[in-house]
Amino acid sequence: MRRKNPQLEADKRLLQYADYEAYLDSFITKQDLCYLQNLHVCRKFSELGYRNWGETLSQDTFERRYEAVLNYVHPEFIPYVLVSEKIACPDAIHKELATRERPNRLGIMSTVIYIRHETETGHEVSGYIDYSERIENENWRSFFQGKKQIFPNSKDLGYYHWKFGKSCSNDSVNYKIFLDPYNGLRFQNRFDRKFINVNPLMHPGENTTRVRIKSNLYKHVVLFDHLVRQRV
């Protein structure tokens, strides 16, 4: 789901004009033409802002923002790339996430990763990661090659640093967070509105499976695989 950009949403109005001259002409009145008797002069008055109570764009600004909103409304199709493809994954966690990369990129599956790990200084860090959001915004090739480890951070769905007692939780592109005294921590998928229950004593939720991964690199890894049935 693409987040809306307020500036680009507002600039959609520019698409009604064929070019910059048509944009300037929209400010010209019949009275202007009657008194000035010259279309070029009328356009110059419009460009200088004398015929508009708000902002009047310069030609350079108009063309730049016009192109930006055109690409926003009609983006060029760029096929996704599987960064895990043709990589000999060294650990179980790499292999398991590699098999989930394609369905997560397509939006068929939405995986939440729970991970506990120790930093180089020996302090434990744990948290929940929206897998499809992270692979969309980061290059995970080094991870699948085993050259780089994955850590939850303060921008993920959940983050806890045991040494400093730092705790953070954030909504993601795919999930909203719910905390209540009866069900504990839950993630609601934004597309089909189903909940993922992360409490190991509860059923993980409708269309969701919980998988424990035995990894040689991390203390504890659990994958919550949610199949997105429909978008509402």
Mean pLDDT score, 190-200: 93
81-115: pLDDT as tens digits: 799 998 998 999 999 999 999 999 988 999 999 99
pTM higher than the cut 0.85: no
Q: Distance between CA atoms of 111 and 102, rounded to whole angstroms?
A: 11
Compute how many other C-beta atoms are within 10 angstroms of the C-beta atom of residue 168: 15
What are the tens digits of pLDDT across the range 118-163?
877 778 899 999 999 999 999 999 999 999 998 899 999 999 987 7
- Cα 80 to Cα 104, 111, 209: the distances in Å are 11, 17, 25
Separation CA 184–CA 144 (nearest Å): 32
Q: What is the pLDDT of residue 172?
A: 93
DSSP per-residue letters across 100-143: HHHHHHHTSEEEEEEEEEE-TTS-EEEEEEEHHHHHHHS--HHH
Give the span between the Cα atoms of 135 and 97, in whole angstroms.
10
- Looking at residue 211, its amino acid is V
Question: Whole-angstrom Cα distance, residue 42 to residue 25?
Answer: 8
CB 197 within 8 A of CB 203: yes
| Position 147, amino acid | K
Ordered strands of the 208-213 beta sheet? 166-169, 158-161, 124-130, 109-118, 220-227, 208-213
Least confident of 15-29, 137-151, 197-211: 15-29
Could you tell me whether strands 166-169 and 175-180 are parallel, antiparallel, or unpaired per DSSP bridges?
A: unpaired
* Rounded distance between C-alpha atoms, residue 154 and residue 127, angstroms: 9
> What gap in Å lies between CA 179 and CA 169, rounded to an integer?
10
Q: Output the pLDDT for position 1.
A: 47
